[in-house]
Amino acid sequence: MRYRLKKDKKELTGRVLLPASKSISNRLLILNALSEVPGRLENLSDSDDTRVLEKALQSDVGTIDIGHAGTAMRFLTAYLSIREGDFVLTGSERMQQRPIGKLVDALNDLGARIGYLRNPGFPPLSIHGSRLAGGEISVDSSVSSQYVSALMMIGPALEKGLTLHLENETASASYIHLTRNLMLELGIPVRFAGKTVEIPHTRFKGKDMRVEGDWSAASYWYAIAALAGGGAGLEIVGLYKNSYQGDSVLPEMFGRMGVRTTFTAGGILLTSIPINLKKFEYDFSDNPDLVQTMVVLCSLLNLPFRITGTRTLKIKETDRILALQAEMKKLGILLEADKQGTRISWDGESRTDMTRTMQIKTYQDHRMAMSFSPAAILHPGLTIEDPEVVNKSYPGFWTDLQRAGFAIEELA
Active site residues: 289
Nearest 5 degrees, angle CA 375-CA 376-CA 382? 105
CA distance 380 to 376: 5
The verdict on whether omega for the bond into residue 387 sits within 30 degrees of 0, i.e. cis, is no
Going along 264-312, which residue ranges are E strands? 267-272, 280-283, 305-308
Q: What is the dihedral of CA 382, 388, 393, 399, to 10 degrees?
A: 70
| Three-class secondary structure assignment of 170-190 | CCCHHHHHHHHHHHHHCCCCC
Sign of the dihedral defined by the CA atoms of residues 333, 336, 337, 342, in that order: negative
CA geometry: angle 126, 132, 133, nearest 5 deg: 150
List phi, psi (to 5°) of 210. Answer: -110, 125
Beta strand 162-167 with 135-140: parallel, antiparallel or unpaired?
parallel
The Cα 304–Cα 95 span in angstroms is: 34
CA–CA separation, 34 and 227 (whole Å): 45
